[in-house]
Amino acid sequence: MMADNSNKSESKKIDELKKFQVDYQDQVMTTNQGLKVNDTNNSLKSGERGSTLLEDFLLREKISHFDHERIPERIVHARGSGAHGYFELYDSIEEYSKAGIFTDTKRKTPVFVRFSTVAGSKGSPDLARDVRGFAVKFYTEEGTWDLVGNNMPIFFIQDAMKFPDLIHSVKPEPNNEIPQAASAHDTFYDFVSRTTETLHNHIWAMSDRAIPRSLRMMEGFGIHTFRLINKEGKSHFVKFHWKPTLGVHSVTWEEAVKINGADADFHRRDLWEAIDAGHFPEWELGLQIIPEEDEHKYDFDLLDPTKLIPEEMVPVKIVGKMTLNRNPDNFFAETEQVAFLPGHIVPGIDFTNDPLLQGRLFSYRDTQLSRLGSTNFHQIPINKPIVPVHNYQRDGHMQMDIPKGRGAYFPNSLMGSCPHLAKMAEGGFTHYEERIDAKKIRGRSKSFSDHFSQPALFYRSLSDWEKEHVIGAYSFELGKCTQKYIIERMLFMISQIDEDLAQKVSDNLGIDVPSSVGKPLNQAIGADDTGDKHQPEAKKNYLEQDPNLSQSNTKFDSIATRQIAILVANGFDMDSFKKMKDALEDKDAMVKLIAPTGGTVTCSEGMDHEVDAAISTTESVLFDAIYIPGGEKSIATLKEEGKYIKFINETFKHCKAIAVDGEGEALLDGSFVADYKKDAAVHINDTPSKFIDSIAKHRNWERRSITSKVPV
What whole-number distance in Å separates Cα of residue 82 and Cα of residue 152? 19
Burial 495-514 (b: 16+ CB within 10 A, else e): bbbbeebbbbbbeebebebb
Q: 77 an active-site residue?
A: yes
**Positive or negative: CA dihedral 495, 500, 501, 505:** positive
What whole-number distance in Å separates Cα of residue 699 and Cα of residue 396? 55
3-state DSSP assignment of residue 265: coil
Residues with Cβ within 8 Å of 679's Cβ and at least 6 positions away in sequence, in order, are 652, 673, 700, 703
3-state DSSP assignment of residue 86: strand
What whole-number distance in Å separates Cα of residue 226 and Cα of residue 247? 26
Between strands 349-350 and 317-326, the pairing is: unpaired
Q: 327 an active-site residue?
A: no
Q: Residues for the chain: how many in total?
A: 712
What is the DSSP secondary structure assignment for residue 398, as one 8-state letter?
T
What whole-number distance in Å separates Cα of residue 289 and Cα of residue 542? 20
- Of residues 473, 467, 541, 461, the one with CA closest to residue 500: 467
What whole-number distance in Å separates Cα of residue 375 and Cα of residue 501? 49
Check 5, 7, 65, 77 and give the catalytic one.
77
Number of Cβ within 10 Å of residue 410's Cβ equals 13
Helix, strand, coil shares of the chain as percentages rounded to 5?
35, 15, 50
Helix axes 163-170, 186-194, angle to 10 degrees: 150
Please say whether the beta carbons of 212 and 222 come within 8 A. Answer: no
Check 150, 201, 649, 700 and give the catalytic one.
150
Between strands 657-660 and 109-117, the pairing is: unpaired
Please say whether the beta carbons of 379 and 369 come within 8 A. Answer: no
- Of residues 653, 659, 671, 445, the one with CA closest to residue 537: 445
What whole-number distance in Å separates Cα of residue 456 and Cα of residue 199? 10
What whole-number distance in Å separates Cα of residue 263 and Cα of residue 195? 35
**Backbone φ, ψ for residue 650 (5° rounding):** -65, -40
Amino acid, res. 629: P
What whole-number distance in Å separates Cα of residue 151 and Cα of residue 129? 13
What whole-number distance in Å separates Cα of residue 468 and Cα of residue 701? 11
Please say whether the beta carbons of 328 and 83 come within 8 A. Answer: yes
What whole-number distance in Å separates Cα of residue 467 and Cα of residue 473? 10
**What secondary structure does DSSP assign to 629-690, as a single string?**
---HHHHHHHHT-HHHHHHHHHHHHTT-EEEE-GGGHHHHTTSGGGGGTT-TTEEES--HHH
- Of residues 215, 210, 149, 218, the one with CA closest to residue 183: 210
What whole-number distance in Å separates Cα of residue 331 and Cα of residue 640? 43
Amino acid, res. 282: E
What whole-number distance in Å separates Cα of residue 706 and Cα of residue 425? 67
CA terminus-to-terminus distance, the chain: 37
What whole-number distance in Å separates Cα of residue 207 and Cα of residue 249? 12
**β-pair partners for 504:** none
What whole-number distance in Å separates Cα of residue 300 and Cα of residue 39? 68
What whole-number distance in Å separates Cα of residue 348 and Cα of residue 574? 59
Q: Which residues are catalytic?
A: 77, 150
